[in-house]
Structure 1
């Protein structure tokens, strides 16, 4: 960033954008942070309330010419510190670009702007007998653009994959303001490099997505069933998950909450859940490939009982899944605010749960774990006050959990991304060659280095 940035520097951009460029400190404040615990470096110089691709292009052209760092945000629900404002930087907000442009029923596609709320796209698709597969726990408040930026996962990953599996085509504004269009509306496309997947998960470092063509799927026929199974310990629940994923019944959702998580969620919003001794699996079946959802749920709960579940139930409501979605606000309300997102091979779940218990005991810190268990994506949260020493101690726990995941063939992040909070862990997973190649790509697409500098890679 230019050290001599002054209000006068912004005049050319202000002349183009008018009131779409916010300069008032009070009005900028809500756009300066995301949901993470990352510290704000300082106040931005302005916030662009973009309403079109042209607005984003003008903003990035100006930023590139002045060397001003840019952070990009949708709804600000990110947990890795990727959308935090830079001191003296420019924030590009995409929340006004929230239009569902088209739902192409015949081809199972939707064209959307990045500020569309994920659950609202899903609801609009269901009016046509289709649905949008990505389903992060924050679906009611997170945006499609934010999901694309982090390659978000969610509850339905076990059946439908992550966000990249549902993205067909993108419109992206590069760091110098040029507009790039990637991908195609077709199912198969092998022309050139796969630039679409390059941008999915790039966390705002390579370009700003201003339009996306995403894939929809038909809503399964029949009535879904939710199920639960309580276990005396986490390891037994982990073994059950591995058996379910390897079995014939195909769950649409397969989530895990440890006993501490269930107790906290139940006290946060009582729903009649009985706190298990060790862990609770919750899931949903929808009857894939003509199967009956009730029969699939019965097969899964029977398998759980054979592997040590001491309490199982099947329901035709979504209350169990709603309880799972409450985990973040419930844990935060009880002071468990420091969390990490790791992934392991599904077969390693029992071992990683055992290891997390040992880490918790060794550090003397309570750890709550919830997981998209069907694909091995775990979210562990450590108790901590806001005192600096407590935060350092909690971070040491999270680092140990991350190292544990890596030792089991896992990854330092399954869906939240690296942002600023996990950047110190990158060399734990990627070697110098991998990091160098990624930074070369960054330099080619953003030569001025203004897009989300110092984060993600």
Structure 2
């Protein structure tokens, strides 16, 4: 054990902030990406303020010890996974909503606050924080910022980065910078806010965020449609997006619907090839027109059933089915969750490719995701006790990444690169872009101590 490092940390931090208990360290070694590699941390630091973060990074820089920032641990790419001998820096005790300004339409929060808590604080003022990853009830804002998380409403309202006005960030050497501000428009200098959002803790540690709030939208109308083929559902998606702007447009395939129905019976059609869920929150005549346009698109693409409802409880029940997709598939066995995105026009090809990969590799793949922005989550399900099944699952996972790239897409739409997708990043970006990444990393973190092995 590096006792000198522990003594130096103890000298600058409250005694309760340092944790070396083996069981606690084990619980903080990795995120939810079960198969991503992780190391053994030396110590866990539970920061309570920006000064704690500064102190940790100053000691770490002096000792050249890696630091892995961590939020709630709900990530799905290994982005918060420890490396051997590192300091795991937990931000979960920095969990306050510092300000909600209803006239300025903004909130100032610490990174350990949960997405759900930001939504609740905004709702108390009659406002709405739009970004809503499926993990919104238990994921931290720091993690959302680190991965530039998306969610069900991002098809209309954008991803996390679109709701960020400014940041406070502690750099690798312990210095503090502020980016952006409280104004809606701000083009003074380089866009450092966008640089840090999505950087997965490799360029700095976010300790405060100023977030954009919105007026609460009108009550949504929800549409559901079922299709006899995946390609038909894909065509409906591209047609809907060409004609209108839903506030939500989600897809689940047959395997996913069957898993959800087995997990929590909701009356889903488990024989249909695909289930499409759409919403309009425009309200009034415009909302009616949008839903009717979506229904026509579904019918033209061969939907066997189309209906819509203005009842809020019924709409939330249908949305529950989509939110249960991943936990329901997890109940079927071990999972490898992909997170690929393709251009809207190529969604039908992606769905067909995934179907072919599942057949060729002899694995179960449940596909669901944010069809309205081309971001899908094909999830490979397998028997964790069967080495051959694991090998086939990993091959299928890689095949899906290859298929997305071949269609002009991306290896990750919202979960981040982490360690799980790091080997594929160069395939997508190319050597010149990877060189730029490495130069940025070297400039911001010359000792390479911030979340090493992640992204580039």
Which TM-score band applies after superposition, normalised by the shorter structure?
over 0.9
User: How big is the shift at 1:52?
Assistant: 0.3
Kept after mapping to 2: 8 A contact 1:132/1:215 = yes
**Whole-angstrom distance in 2 between the partners of 1:338 and 1:84:** 16
Query: Which residue does the alignment assign to 1:83?
Result: 80
**Whole-angstrom distance in 2 between the partners of 1:303 and 1:336:** 36
**1:64 and 2:61 aligned:** yes
User: How big is the shift at 1:383?
Assistant: 2.1
**Whole-angstrom distance in 2 between the partners of 1:408 and 1:328:** 24
**1:308 and 2:302 aligned:** yes
**Whole-angstrom distance in 2 between the partners of 1:354 and 1:177:** 49
Kept after mapping to 1: 8 A contact 2:36/2:77 = no
Query: Which residue does the alignment assign to 2:383?
Result: 385
Query: For structure 1, which segment, 316-325 or 72-81, has the greater mean C-alpha deviation from structure 2 after superposition?
Result: 316-325
Query: For structure 1, which segment, 204-213 or 383-392, has the greater mean C-alpha deviation from structure 2 after superposition?
Result: 383-392
Query: Which residue does the alignment assign to 1:299?
Result: 293
User: How big is the shift at 1:294?
Assistant: 4.2
**Whole-angstrom distance in 2 between the partners of 1:42 and 1:112:** 31
**1:419 and 2:418 aligned:** yes
Kept after mapping to 2: 8 A contact 1:153/1:415 = yes
**Whole-angstrom distance in 2 between the partners of 1:61 and 1:389:** 47
**1:24 and 2:18 aligned:** no
Query: Which residue does the alignment assign to 1:405?
Result: 404
Q: Return the match for 1:271 from 266, 273, 280.
A: 266
User: How big is the shift at 1:332?
Assistant: 0.8
User: How big is the shift at 1:292?
Assistant: 4.4
Query: Which residue does the alignment assign to 1:99?
Result: 96
Compared CA separation, residues 182 and 298, structure 1 to 2 (3 A): same
Unaligned segments of structure 2, at least 5 residues: none
Query: Which residue does the alignment assign to 1:239?
Result: 235
Query: Which residue does the alignment assign to 2:111?
Result: 114
User: How big is the shift at 1:296?
Assistant: 2.8
**1:204 and 2:201 aligned:** yes
TM-score normalised by L of structure 1: 0.95
**Whole-angstrom distance in 2 between the partners of 1:9 and 1:211:** 27
Deviations 1:153-189 (A, max 9, x none): 1101110111111111000011111111101211111
**Whole-angstrom distance in 1 between the partners of 2:403 and 2:36:** 27
Unaligned segments of structure 1, at least 5 residues: none
TM-score normalised by L of structure 2: 0.96
**1:225 and 2:215 aligned:** no
Query: For structure 1, which segment, 259-268 or 381-390, has the greater mean C-alpha deviation from structure 2 after superposition?
Result: 381-390
SS class of match (1:303): helix
**Whole-angstrom distance in 1 between the partners of 2:229 and 2:124:** 42
**Whole-angstrom distance in 1 between the partners of 2:35 and 2:166:** 32
RMSD of aligned C-alpha atoms?
1.4
Kept after mapping to 2: 8 A contact 1:109/1:213 = yes
